């Protein structure tokens, strides 16, 4: 078979192919041209070790922030994805110095995106303070001798106030010079208004 016939037959066979159909096949196919992951839109495009790193970061964020709904969980996933890409690009920056300018620009974009996402999460929590609070917490004491939990009785959960002294006032702190001058100025203005 001549070279011309081989290339023509390869073109015909390639036109018949519809590509991978299974999820694993598509995942493997997506890895064919993976070099830096600079423009990756999902964590599945990254190698397994980076996916594991993403899962660790996402789990840590979930533990720290305890998302109250799917929106907060999505924001945490975005933050974890940004952090994973950020650390990956830092590693690449040392390996591919000739692409340093592009990677530094990507690092800056990721940092800004991370801060925007974190600010969105924090402002959402400020606007809805009940979202960030966990539901009723019940603390269980474990008896040291038996090792069994001691469940509190309903009357144990009520706060006990009888027999307690009111809080004593703490030592008064002296006001700062600036505050004292402002107060004195306002007092003089009031005196001048009443005298006039």
Q: Is 76 exposed, middle or buried (0-12, 13-18, 19+ CB in 10 A)?
A: buried
Cβ contact 43:84 at 8 Å: yes
User: Tell me: the pLDDT tens digits for 104-124?
Assistant: 788 888 888 888 998 888 888
**The pLDDT of residue 66:** 86
**The pLDDT of residue 110:** 86
Please tell me what DSSP assigns to residue 98: G
**The pLDDT of residue 57:** 92
pTM of the full predicted structure? Answer: 0.50
**The pLDDT of residue 173:** 56
Q: Which element (helix H / strand E) includes 16?
A: helix 3-16
User: Tell me: the pLDDT tens digits for 33-62?
Assistant: 566 677 777 888 788 888 899 999 999 999
Match 């106030």 to its residue by tokens: 161
Handedness of CA 65, 68, 70, 71 (dihedral sign): negative
Cβ contact 121:65 at 8 Å: yes
Pick out the chain residues at pLDDT < 50: none
Q: How many residues does the chain have?
A: 196
**Tally of CB atoms within 10 A around 149:** 11
């Amino acid at each position: 078979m001549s070279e011309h016939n081989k290339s023509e037959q390869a073109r015909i066979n390639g036109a018949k192919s519809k590509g991978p159909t299974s999820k694993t096949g598509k995942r493997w196919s997506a890895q064919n041209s993976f070099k830096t992951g600079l423009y990756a839109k999902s964590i599945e495009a990254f190698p397994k070790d980076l996916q594991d790193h993403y899962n660790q970061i996402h789990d840590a964020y979930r533990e720290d922030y305890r998302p109250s709904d799917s929106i907060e969980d999505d924001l945490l996933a975005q933050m974890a994805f940004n952090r994973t890409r950020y650390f990956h690009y830092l590693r690449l920056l040392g390996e591919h110095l000739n692409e340093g300018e592009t990677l530094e620009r990507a690092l800056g974009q990721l940092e800004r995106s991370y801060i925007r996402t974190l600010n969105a999460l924090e402002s959402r929590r400020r606007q809805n303070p009940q979202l960030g609070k966990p539901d009723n917490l019940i603390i269980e004491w474990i008896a040291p001798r038996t090792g069994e939990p001691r469940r509190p009785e309903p009357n144990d959960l009520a706060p006990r106030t009888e027999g307690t002294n009111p809080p004593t006032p703490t030592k008064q702190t002296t006001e700062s010079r600036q505050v004292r001058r402002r107060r004195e100025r306002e007092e003089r203005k009031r005196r001048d208004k009443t005298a006039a």
